[in-house]
């Protein structure tokens, strides 16, 4: 079970956030939550199967993947 904080992507619109969340769910991540706020729309990935902070390369690989996904949609990845 993961002890790592959730991965958070901040995206410009609700539609983009919903699209990204759907894509992540289709890839098997669960749960993936969408929320709105003053800074944009967020996608939070808290899948219990994610490696914890001691996961080394696996954790960095996920960060790289989520960062690229956010940038592809004119968003940002919030480092945890």
Q: What confidence category does residue 2 fall into, taking pLDDT thresholds of 50, 70 and 90?
A: very low
pLDDT of residue 6: 85
Give the number of domains in the chain: 1
Q: Confirm whether pTM is higher than 0.85.
A: no
Query: Strand order of the sheet with strand 76-78?
Result: 32-37, 40-45, 7-11, 76-78
* Assigned domain for 1 exists: no
CATH code of 60's domain: 3.30.70
Q: Could you tell me which of 47, 37, 46, 50 has the C-alpha nearest to residue 11? A: 37
* Assigned domain for 2 exists: no
Q: What is the pLDDT of residues 32-74, one digit of tens each?
A: 999 997 789 999 998 777 666 655 677 788 889 999 999 999 9
pLDDT of residue 52: 62
Higher pLDDT, 46 or 3: 46
């Amino acid at each position: 079970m993961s002890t790592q904080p959730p991965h958070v992507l901040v995206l410009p619109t609700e539609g983009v956030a919903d699209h990204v969340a759907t894509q992540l769910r289709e890839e098997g991540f669960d749960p993936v939550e969408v929320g709105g706020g003053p800074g944009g729309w967020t996608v939070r990935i808290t899948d219990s199967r994610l490696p914890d902070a001691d996961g080394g390369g696996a954790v960095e690989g996920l960060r790289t993947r989520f960062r690229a996904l956010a940038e592809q949609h004119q968003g940002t990845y919030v480092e945890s």
